[in-house]
Each structure stands twice: as C-alpha cells, then as structure tokens.
Amino acid sequence: MPKKILIIEDEPVMLKTIELLFRKKGYEVLTATNGKEAMEQIRAHRLDAVITDVMMPYLPGTEIISRIRHELSNEQIPVIVISSVEIDSLVEEVFALGANDFIRKPIVPTELVARVEKLLT
C-alpha cells in the first residue's frame, strides 16, 4: 500500500511540481491550496507525511503544524516545511511547533524526496 502524503501549497506550479514528483515515486498524493482545505484533508485521511508552505490563505503553515501536533490524533505524523521566507526566527518557530524538517525554496526535488523518505523509514 503506497504511503499517503498531503502537499499544502498555494502556488499552483510549485504544487503540481511536488505532486508529480511524489506520484512518480509511487506515493499517493493529496493536495490543498490553503489552510482550510489542508485541515479538511488532515481530518479526513490517515496521512504518512505532510509537506506544507508557511505563507498561505486562511491558515498559515505554522498554525497547521500546531493543530496537527495538539488537536489531532495523528500528532506523530512527519511535517516538512518548505518556504521562501528567509527569516531565521521562522525556522526556529516551525521547529518549536513540532516540524520535523525545513527546506528553503527553491526546492531541489531530489533533496525533498530524500528528506521525506528518511522521515518515513
């Protein structure tokens, strides 16, 4: 049974790129373009990993991490944050909230896959 990953990204080209990358690797991929959709997907599915951007409509990625860790039954799910924000305090914040990894945009596809696969083993 393939691992199920949720990708939360509001930029359509980036979302499609990451989605296709993981589909090619055999993952089942769900997507969300904002925090509201993301929380609906997280509540509706048993996920193996979440990849989220930080800056998004409705709920930022930081709030999504917090809700995964404190409100939901799948609090141990690996969360990887991707962001173009170049502020060190943001990196500290996402790790303090419970993120497992942080990758700056532009992403290197092979690096993203390797980091996700490391968290899933």
Nearest to 9 by CA among 106, 110, 118, 96: 106
According to the model, what pLDDT value does residue 88 have? 85
**Tens-place pLDDT, residues 27-77:** 999 999 999 999 999 999 999 999 999 999 899 999 999 999 988 765 689
Go through the domains of the chain in sequence order and give each one's CATH number.
Answer: 4-120 (3.40.50.2300)
Global pTM reads 0.95
Query: Measured between alpha carbons, how far is 96 from 27 in angstroms, rounded to an integer?
Result: 28
Query: Measured between alpha carbons, how far is 9 from 121 in angstroms, rounded to an integer?
Result: 24
The Cα diameter of the chain in Å comes to 38
CA–centroid distance for 51 within its chain? 1
**Tens-place pLDDT, residues 81-101:** 999 987 889 999 999 999 999
Which residues lie closer than 8 Å to 80 by C-beta, 6 or more apart? 49, 50, 51, 52, 99, 100, 101, 102, 103, 112, 115, 116, 119
According to the model, what pLDDT value does residue 75 have? 66
